[in-house]
Amino acid sequence: MKSTQYLAREPDSNGFIDYPEAEHQIWNTLITRQLKVIEGRACQEYLDGIEQLSLPHERIPQLGEISQVLQTTTGWRVARVPALIPFQTFFELLASKQFPVATFIRTAEELDYLKEPDIFHEVFGHCPLLTNPWFAEFTHTYGKLGLAASKEERVYLARLYWLTIEFGLVDTPQGQRIYGGGILSSPKETLYSLSTTPEHQTFDPVEAMRTPYRIDILQPLYFALPELKRLFELAHEDIMGMVQQAMKLGLHAPKFAPKAA
């Protein structure tokens, strides 16, 4: 577990979290800016989810508001967590249809990028697609598999998650669109991911598991699903068999420079 400068806010006895006004203003800045950036770039299923969640612009939403919509649509809810949680807790939550949300928001100094997933990343980036049954099914299956996986297998599953749930693209009749929450919560990566600068490959789960990544750079490679339903189909395939195959084949050479010491 790495350390973090952020501290998740605690709810009162009624489950209400009282955020200071300055933090509501940061939320407003983030959501107002990003809603403009994702126009014509986010996939339709994500936009449908944004509409269903009806996220407030002037304040940070309460977790109960998000859970109410998710439970109605796919049976999911969000769970309040600290800034960073171990893999085991992460998989346990997903396996029980609970999506972890850290109840802190980034500072003005880290408006464009932070390593820890904050409430804006989790709620704006991921929760809209948790209203979609295909996406929700894959995320649930992923949690159950991760819970039963070995430490080494989890590393390969982490790459699959990173290159789908966090940084995935999808082909549509209108062109490539974004569904990955790591992209959709970042203005810079939203523009970059659909540009001609990075490499784009057709999604292959084994190839994704063999692809090294870094969390602190723009991704050099994105995998594009043929359609979002491919995640639902993958949830019913032998993902752990694919993990074993990826482990035997080994990792690809990184497409990025090593991190400076």
pLDDT tens profile 49-60: 999 999 999 999
- For residue 251, what are the CA distances in angstroms to 203, 211, 212? 16, 6, 7
**Which tokens is 240 given?**
């752990």
pLDDT band at 114; cut points 50, 70, 90 = confident
Helix (H, G, I), strand (E, B) or coil at 175: strand
User: How many percent of the chain have pLDDT more than 70?
Assistant: 98
Domains in the chain: how many in total? 1
Report yes or no on 62 lying in a domain: yes
- The full DSSP string for 15-65 is S-----HHHHHHHHHHHHHHHHHTTTTB-HHHHHHHHHHT--SSSPPPHHH
Full residue range of the structural domain in which residue 172 is found: 21-249
Report yes or no on 139 lying in a domain: yes
60 with 105: CB under 8 angstroms? Answer: yes
Residue 148 lies in a domain: yes
**Domain-located, residue 6:** no
Confirm whether residue 166 is marked as ligand binding. yes
pLDDT at residue 261 greater than cutoff 90: no
Mean pLDDT on 6-21: 96
Residue 233 in marked binding region: no
Residue-level pLDDT at 258: 86
Residue 21 among known ligand-binding residues: no
Helix axes 239-249, 151-161, angle to 10 degrees: 100
**CATH code where residue 73 lies:** 1.10.800.10
In angstroms, the CA 255 to CA 14 distance is 49
Segment 120-130, tens digit of pLDDT: 999 999 999 99
Among candidate residues 57, 59, 62, 56, the one with its CA nearest the CA of residue 9: 62
Q: Is residue 188 one of the residues assigned to a domain?
A: yes
Instruction: Answer whether residue 112 shows pLDDT above 70.
Output: yes
Q: Is residue 3 part of a domain?
A: no
pLDDT for res 186: 96
202 belongs to a structural domain: yes
Q: Residue 213 falls within a domain, yes or no?
A: yes
pLDDT at 204 over 60: yes
For the cut 80, the answer to whether the pLDDT of residue 2 exceeds it is no
Record the tokens describing residue 158, joined without a space: 């982490």
